[in-house]
Structure 1
Amino acid sequence: MSLRIIVALAVLTGVTGSPGVTIRPVADSADSAHPNSVPETVEETEIFGQQIQLFEEEEAEEDVMATGELNPKHYPAQRAAKVVQHYLNTRYGSPYRVFGLQRVHSGNAEDVADSRRKYQLEISVQEMIGNTTENCSAEVLFARGEQQRSAQVQASCEALLKIDTKAQEEAFYQQCKMNQSLQSAQYLPDSYGHIEPDMKPLWHLGIVASSFIMLNESTENTLYNMAQVANVTQLPTENDQLKFDYHILLHEMVSQEIIHWKLLFTWSPAEGVKVLQMEQLPHCHDCEKPPNTN
């Protein structure tokens, strides 16, 4: 039985300019027919101001997991590699350092003890704001079965982690701390895919914080991207940590579901992002659809 799924790889950022969506259906061909095929380049798979690709998949055996050497272009390798991106953001991300998956070069999967599955990957990771790319080795362990456990990740990307953003982070921190009025914003990006320059650090901070959710929720059968910051409010704080309340929209691209989350977290240059609360919000049938998620 044939299953036709429309997968729109979403959304946007203002890191490299005003983002937008280009809908370009893939013609039927031998190259596009595999059920696990994904676009090859970061321009077609990432959300950081790049072109977005809309493509079709046909086949009922999409969820069959391969063992051994993986095709880097297919979903099993891509999904595992995307988890590495979320891991790097949770460990090293900031308003001026955001990591994105650029390309999977090779991958291998095997079943291991305790009903887990291990992926070994060679990938390219890009620090999106500074536009610096490095090849990284990574290992991802997924739990299997009914009990939901976060994936365990190890990654070696030494050069990317040496990027110095301390000056920019300290300036943003002092600006937020000294402002008489607390910062707030809605709809990053807006319905035209635009983000004001002074709001970009809040957008980047939302991407980093949302990676905590996506890392926690990711399985072998999911593929998450950050879609939009619906609302962000800076909250009063009594210590050196800035405190933020975010309403974030995530795009789960396998199910095509837009998922609303509430995030309460703190940030400072010294301590990084510390999540205090993650709460999935009820599905809102009447909510306005976020921009350019189609």
Structure 2
Amino acid sequence: EIMRLVVVLAVLMGVSGIPDVTISPPTASADTSAHPNSIPETGAEEDVMATGELNPNHYPARRAAQVVQHYLNTRYGSPFRLIGVQTVHSGNAEDVADSGRKYQLELSVNDIITNTTQTCSAELFFPKGKGQQPPEVKALYQKYKTNQTLMSSDFAQQLRSDISTLSNSKLPSDSHGHIEPDMKPFWHLGILASSFIMLNESTENTLYNVAQVANITQLTTEEDHLEFDCHTLLHEMVSQEIIHWKMLFTWSPAEGVKVVQMKRLPHRHEREKSPKTN
């Protein structure tokens, strides 16, 4: 069922992918915001770490651009602002002694929800060494003033007054990628929280998207922020692996999304092999 969902979403997002590194403008359908800038990974190209000027159409530049997307969503995303890479204009990569590799990108990013586009300059550094370390990202991005701030405040007030709004919800709700309009803000929150994981786990050889928010539940809290328990399925498109993560995250219009806890769950076959206890 999960793989069927991934295939369906990949087909639905095909018009939004980047066969020429350019995404066509999103439509109002639920699945266009499902994977901002979902990039098909066929494995047809060799994973050679290019140095110098990069071809914007090739995977090294496109994977690096996806990392920038995750970074921007962790910094600027909201239930009513979801950022996706639209076009990679140019890129450059270089080895930095024995410490890692640095990428410089010029790209256009699109607010999937409002369909506004702007250019963005980004610099990424992928560290080398023992153990995986998250990439370091710097990006010049202009956060435009929109009515999303008021929408976020109204949405937060609604959730505070009725905590039963969200309990054990799966998004998309079926294998066809369907999301009810009133559930889209929760889907966006799941993507934003997952962006922290995808940013942390990304390397030069990965390409992450959210396949499904398997479960998202609002928790009771007396704090100013709202709190959510979330089980998300990430699609690592190079290996074609579906990876399960559990998260506890908070959100408020003022502070944005903050991931408090994250835990990678074992694969199903690993759980089945676990010794049973009496």
TM-score, with structure 1 as normaliser:
0.80
Question: Distance in 1 between the 2:160 and 2:167 partners?
Answer: 13
What letter corresponds to residue 279 of structure 1 in structure 2?
Answer: K
What letter corresponds to residue 199 of structure 2 in structure 1?
Answer: L
1:181 to 152, 164, 171: 164
2:96 to 97, 112, 129: 112
User: 1:125 corresponds to which residue?
Assistant: 109
Q: Kindly tell me: are residues 163 and 120 of structure 1, through their superposed partners in 2, closer, same or farther at Cα, counting changes over 3 Å?
A: farther
For residues 165-180 of structure 1, the aligned pairs below 5 Å read 165-179=148-162
Per-residue CA distance 1:134-168 (angstroms, 9 max, x = gap)? 1111101111233211111111121x444441110
2:207 to 210, 223, 227: 223
What letter corresponds to residue 187 of structure 1 in structure 2?
Answer: K
User: 1:273 corresponds to which residue?
Assistant: 257
Question: Distance in 1 between the 2:135 and 2:270 partners?
Answer: 33
Asked whether the equivalents of residues 10 and 227 of structure 1 are also in contact (C-alpha less than 8 Å), the reply is: no
User: 1:139 corresponds to which residue?
Assistant: 123
Aligned to 1:41, what secondary structure does the other structure show?
coil
Q: Kindly tell me: are residues 53 and 250 of structure 1, through their superposed partners in 2, closer, same or farther at Cα, counting changes over 3 Å?
A: closer
User: 1:20 corresponds to which residue?
Assistant: 12
Question: Distance in 1 between the 2:14 and 2:84 partners?
Answer: 20
User: 2:228 corresponds to which residue?
Assistant: 244
What letter corresponds to residue 122 of structure 1 in structure 2?
Answer: E
Asked whether the equivalents of residues 20 and 49 of structure 1 are also in contact (C-alpha less than 8 Å), the reply is: no
Asked whether the equivalents of residues 38 and 209 of structure 2 are also in contact (C-alpha less than 8 Å), the reply is: no
Asked whether the equivalents of residues 186 and 232 of structure 1 are also in contact (C-alpha less than 8 Å), the reply is: yes
Per-residue CA distance 1:227-249 (angstroms, 9 max, x = gap)? 11000000010111100001000
Question: Distance in 2 between the 1:281 and 1:49 partners?
Answer: 22
Question: Distance in 2 between the 1:226 and 1:127 partners?
Answer: 17
What letter corresponds to residue 139 of structure 2 in structure 1?
Answer: A
What letter corresponds to residue 175 of structure 1 in structure 2?
Answer: Q
For residues 1-294 of structure 1, the aligned pairs below 5 Å read 12=9, 20=12, 39-43=20-24, 48=33, 56-58=42-44, 62-113=46-97, 115-158=99-142, 160-179=143-162, 181=164, 183-189=166-172, 190-285=174-269
**CA shift for structure 1 position 52:** 7.2
Instruction: Name segments (4+ residues, structure 1) moved above 3 Å.
Output: 8-13, 49-59, 160-164
Q: Kindly tell me: are residues 163 and 143 of structure 1, through their superposed partners in 2, closer, same or farther at Cα, counting changes over 3 Å?
A: farther
Per-residue CA distance 1:106-141 (angstroms, 9 max, x = gap)? 000011145121100000101101111111111011
Q: Kindly tell me: are residues 187 and 205 of structure 1, through their superposed partners in 2, closer, same or farther at Cα, counting changes over 3 Å?
A: same
Per-residue CA distance 1:195-231 (angstroms, 9 max, x = gap)? 0111110000011110000000000000001111000
Asked whether the equivalents of residues 11 and 226 of structure 1 are also in contact (C-alpha less than 8 Å), the reply is: no
Question: Distance in 2 between the 1:230 and 1:71 partners?
Answer: 36
TM-score, with structure 2 as normaliser:
0.84
What letter corresponds to residue 79 of structure 1 in structure 2?
Answer: R
What letter corresponds to residue 41 of structure 1 in structure 2?
Answer: T
User: 1:28 corresponds to which residue?
Assistant: none
Q: Kindly tell me: are residues 130 and 56 of structure 1, through their superposed partners in 2, closer, same or farther at Cα, counting changes over 3 Å?
A: same
Q: CA RMSD in A?
A: 3.0
**CA shift for structure 1 position 84:** 0.5
Question: Distance in 1 between the 2:40 and 2:134 partners?
Answer: 29
Aligned to 1:258, what secondary structure does the other structure show?
strand
Aligned to 2:199, what secondary structure does the other structure show?
helix
Asked whether the equivalents of residues 194 and 210 of structure 2 are also in contact (C-alpha less than 8 Å), the reply is: yes
Q: How many residues align?
A: 259
**CA shift for structure 1 position 40:** 2.6
